[in-house]
Amino acid sequence: MSLIYNKRLVNFFFTIIFLLLFIEKSFSIEPNIFIQSTVNRASAALSSSFTKDEKIKELKNIAKETVDIKGIGLYTIGKHRKNMTDEKKSEYLNLFEKYFLKTFSDRLSEYTNPKVQVTGSQKLNENYTIVSSVLIATKERGEVQVDWRVYTKDPQNLAIRDLIIEGLSLARTQKEEFNSIIQSNNGDINALFDSIRNFINN
């Protein structure tokens, strides 16, 4: 077998690999399937034999892959972002990601085997779809309605922008809480930063 033939074979092989990767990346998934797949991954992690620390690590990985943490962070800081320098904004987003991942993973890690079933979806516009689901009831708690606000502007990169539990938006609630901290400290954004750091370190 000639060297030229070998080279062509190698080039052909890598071309096929590239096309397969491109096709996989280009495949757009429906928002309801995206959410069901995400909650199934989280449920599998929580019902596994992992230690609590291992579960938290896996939940954080899932969140990083499926949630638009930066987008939520910018939303929750609200009007105050207009008065922040680029340096302060970068500092805030770094703190918010740590805050979000700790909140998300700590709360979920207490569940042993949560079962969430997607029940439908409603396309609001080109950018957003609401996916409806229920947290199935157990002996300890009743059924809980959970809606997911999914950012769909890029069909190849869907992302969760909000979680609405029994009609209560978590992103909006967080925005109000952050604003309250800033307002009660004479508009000092550093008071919020200190509050977030205290939460992260405890």
Lowest mean pLDDT among 29-38, 115-124, 133-142, 154-163: 133-142
Position 26 pLDDT exceeds 50: no
Looking at per-residue pLDDT, the higher value among 173 and 140 belongs to 173
200 CB-near residues (< 8 Å, 6+ apart): 95, 98, 99, 102
Q: Helix (H, G, I), strand (E, B), or coil: what is residue 118?
A: strand
Looking at per-residue pLDDT, the higher value among 44 and 20 belongs to 44
At residue 24, the pLDDT reads: 40
User: Contact 39/133 with Cβ under 8 angstroms?
Assistant: yes
Looking at per-residue pLDDT, the higher value among 46 and 197 belongs to 197
At residue 138, the pLDDT reads: 80
Mean pLDDT, rounded, for 39-50: 86
pLDDT in tens, 145-197: 999 999 999 888 999 999 998 999 999 999 999 999 999 999 999 999 999 99
Distance (Å, whole) CA 194 – CA 202: 12
Could you tell me the pTM of the whole model? Answer: 0.80
CA 106, 94, 65: angle at the middle one, nearest 5? 60
Position 9 pLDDT exceeds 80: no
At residue 18, the pLDDT reads: 39
Full DSSP string of 43-82:
HHHHTSS--HHHHHHHHHHHHHHHB-HHHHHHHHHGGGGG
pLDDT in tens, 68-124: 999 999 999 999 999 899 999 999 999 999 999 998 887 776 666 678 899 999 999
Position 143 pLDDT exceeds 60: yes
> Alpha helix locations (H) across 67-128?
69-77, 86-108
Distance (Å, whole) CA 116 – CA 146: 9
Q: Helix (H, G, I), strand (E, B), or coil: what is residue 146?
A: strand
Distance (Å, whole) CA 67 – CA 197: 21
At residue 28, the pLDDT reads: 62
At residue 144, the pLDDT reads: 86
